[in-house]
Structure 1
Amino acid sequence: MEELYTLEREVGRGSYGVVFEGQMAKTGNVVAIKRLPCSNPESIELYLQELWAMRATAKNHVNVIALHSCLLQTGPRSLKPLKSGKPPLRLVETVLKGTVVGVQQDQRRRKDSSSNLRRTNSNSRLQDKTNTVQARAKLQDLVKSHDCATPQRPPSRGRKRSAQNEDEQDGPLRCLALWLVMEYCDGGDLNHFLLSRPPDPQRDHSVVLQLCSALAFLHSLGITHRDLKPDNVLVCVTPKGPVIKVADFGLSKMSEAAVNGDLTRQRFSSTCGSDFYMAPEVWGGLSYTAQADIFSLGVLFWAVLERITFLEEGSTQEQLGAYVCKGRSGWLMPLGEALWENPEFQLCIPVKFKRAPPLPPPPGPAMCTLLLDMLTSDPDTRPTADQLESRVCSALKEDSEGLRVA
């Protein structure tokens, strides 16, 4: 790893992997390096979904995190760069078979080698003495040439040949971890960035518009994110203002850029995402479409524009998110769950009592109407991603003109 990148410090840790701040050895450029241990087929399937989505987006949109390279760890100090058009076949095989391929094959290979060695020893007594001497001489020459040649090889050629041999050999290739090298975002995630600063309506509007642009781009490629939330939105701080980056594609799904040009016809069945941002149809275990992303974005927009926060159980870290208060104790219910239980439930936008001080001005009537459209229980009546950006622009413009008139 140190020949390509250096790991500086850990900057994040989740259920599936660890993210480090690192540097490119040649240029010194700062990067984010995500290590995903390949310990079980379920995790590997998520890693492959993330890899394929990030390869599809490449570096083609300023508001989607850029993937620089991907490396497969095959030994304690052995890394194999993966070519952009070539899938890691051992990992794909692991997912299809439902078992970590390298481990079982390695065990079988050791058994086979042991039995072959016993057969060879028993047969060697029947071999001609001359052949045995010649075989020993060839083996010694091979060992000597290997011992002499290895340290004299240029390191770059050695790595290249090693990768070629691994592709060609019949034996198992142990896949210990997948390393994703991505652009580094110095502003942290959206929770940290916004809540560590005083409210700024202009900045909040910029965040909302950039997220619209990112989602329209992803949906145009046939990518449904399925886990949009502040933790999965990163921020790069620039002199011109924050640049928003949608990240973490572990739960994403790809389809052929849409069915008949309409991603809303591609249906999914897995219940996944984060409670406070999941759409009602996902909460209900129904099949759902990319319109579930629109609902998640609606929750996020509402929280950003009104600075609505909550504390998750067992946490002291405030998070952006809209919700419903239920019962006398005021326990929090995710919007999606509330709308699944009662599709006629009326959301009150804007709100006052849930907002975290200092308070920004509430969104205007046009933006409130758009939020209600995004958060409707009927996914077919939500705006699509390619409609969303223009509608947000129109709503913000209409509300600002209304303020000037007032």
Structure 2
Amino acid sequence: MTARDVNREARAVVRATKLNKKTWILKMVSSQPKYDLIREVGRGSYGVVYEAVIRKTSTRVAVKKIRCHAPENVELALREFWALSSIQSQHPNVIHLEECILQKDGMVQRMSHGSSSSLYLQLVETSLKGEIVFDPRSAYYLWFVMDFCDGGDMNEYLLSRKPSRKTNTSFMLQLGSALAFLHKNQIIHRDLKPDNILISQTRMDASNLEPTLKVADFGLSKVCSTSGLNPEEPVNVNKCFLSTACGTDFYMAPEVWEGHYTAKADIFALGIIIWAMLERITIVDTETKKELLGSYVKQGTEIVPVGEALLENPKMELLIPVKKKSMNARMKQLIKEMLAANPQDRPDAFELELRLVQIAFKDTNWDT
């Protein structure tokens, strides 16, 4: 898509006035423009992300634009909306949804969970039926306004720097805290990977000058609803079984490949991430040729996702560490448990958070 196409599309989606070569006004409401779009910072098959500022406060935000022209796009967008809008409180390591705007042609409205709006219900019906139920000649878009992260993703940040024990420790603690928070809020992420973990350098902790991580991209997430005899009792995500095999191959647990899994699949994915981070194990994306943090098993000349290898051979002993000469015994044991073939042998997110804290603060001389 050319720059001309991008500009034409943007004009069709928002009422835009050119401020300079890289700035447009995003008019979310009919009265006064609320956001200034500064520049495009990311693009994929799912949507386009812009850096923007709130006009009243000059606060930087990220604005994700999703075109609802196909059922799969609608489903991904709604899953992200349902997950982020279900969270009643904020967490420093989970991306925050400021608001979501639904647009049809020139008409816009703020979207709320459980809305009776006909536009919203048409999107829900599209997601459920797997086919477009609204007039395909109309342009439907969802605009997500979220935290802006200025440090790229976890891959870009770590692989452009020398390994640091301090950074590794900080990142592990933040990720453990984020996952415990999500599972407490009945959210299974289902696509945890370094690409989906963003870095905010503007929010560095003054005490250690390490950046803040933000778990993002909830398009494949699942919010586990209440069920059973007592609907008031919080759902245990480790007893909420899912059957849709989804995620990214190198981070998928063995049971996900089979299509019968719980939130323990998130524990496995985080185990892959932490292992890869500590040893700087990388894979290369075959399409983009981008180097990514990710662990794997070698079978002859091929590299195989750990989860797929464990599905074929549950008794396989993982070689940890695989690159370094040694690893702290408690860290090594925790990673092995996180990557256990049997999900029941993995810690849950709350035990994991506690054990990461114990490793970080009790074993002050651990080597990573």
TM-score range, shorter chain: 0.7 to 0.9
1:395 aligns with 2:346: no
**Which of 252, 256, 264 is residue 282 of structure 1 equivalent to?**
256
1:338 aligns with 2:309: yes
RMSD: 2.1
Deviations 1:123-180 (A, max 9, x none): xxxxxxxxxxxxxxxxxxxxxxxxxxxxxxxxxxxxxxxxxxxxxxxxxxx5611110
**Which residue of 2 is the match for residue 204 of structure 1?**
168
Any unmatched runs of 5+ in structure 2? Answer: 1-25, 28-32
Take 2:144 and 2:88, find their aligned partners in 1: how far apart are those partners? 12
- Percent identity at matched positions? 47
Count residues with an aligned counterpart. Answer: 324
Take 2:326 and 2:60, find their aligned partners in 1: how far apart are those partners? 38
Larger Rg: 1
Take 1:239 and 1:402, find their aligned partners in 2: how far apart are those partners? 24
> CA offset at residue 347 of structure 1?
0.5
1:12 aligns with 2:72: no
> CA offset at residue 383 of structure 1?
0.1
**Where does 1:107-122 land on structure 2 (aligned, <5 Å)?**
none
> CA offset at residue 315 of structure 1?
3.2
Higher relative contact order (CA 8 A, sep 6+): 1
3-state secondary structure, aligned to 2:108: strand
**Which of 293, 301, 308 is residue 281 of structure 2 equivalent to?**
308
Take 1:393 and 1:37, find their aligned partners in 2: how far apart are those partners? 41
**Where does 1:47-86 land on structure 2 (aligned, <5 Å)?**
47-57=77-87, 60-75=90-105, 77-83=106-112, 86=115
**Which of 55, 66, 73 is residue 25 of structure 1 equivalent to?**
55
**Which of 47, 66, 72 is residue 42 of structure 1 equivalent to?**
72
Deviations 1:305-360 (A, max 9, x none): 11111212143321111111121x3x21110011111001111111217xxxxxxx
- Return 305-314 or 226-235, whichever deviates more: 305-314
Going from structure 1 to structure 2, the CA distance change for 1:239 and 1:63 (only over 3 Å counts) comes to closer
Deviations 1:156-209 (A, max 9, x none): xxxxxxxxxxxxxxxxxx561111010100111100111112211111111011
**Which residue of 2 is the match for residue 245 of structure 1?**
214
**Which residue of 2 is the match for residue 319 of structure 1?**
292
> CA offset at residue 401 of structure 1?
5.2
Contact 2:186 2:236 (8 Å CA) reproduced: no
Residue identity in the other structure for 2:304: M
**Which residue of 2 is the match for residue 136 of structure 1?**
none
Residue identity in the other structure for 1:52: W
1:376 aligns with 2:340: yes
More helix by share: 1
Take 1:224 and 1:323, find their aligned partners in 2: how far apart are those partners? 23
> CA offset at residue 400 of structure 1?
2.8
Contact 1:216 1:386 (8 Å CA) reproduced: yes
Contact 2:47 2:65 (8 Å CA) reproduced: yes
Going from structure 1 to structure 2, the CA distance change for 1:341 and 1:387 (only over 3 Å counts) comes to same
Contact 1:91 1:175 (8 Å CA) reproduced: no
Take 1:85 and 1:9, find their aligned partners in 2: how far apart are those partners? 32
3-state secondary structure, aligned to 2:73: helix
- Return 199-208 or 7-16, whichever deviates more: 7-16
Going from structure 1 to structure 2, the CA distance change for 1:384 and 1:69 (only over 3 Å counts) comes to same
Residue identity in the other structure for 2:177: S
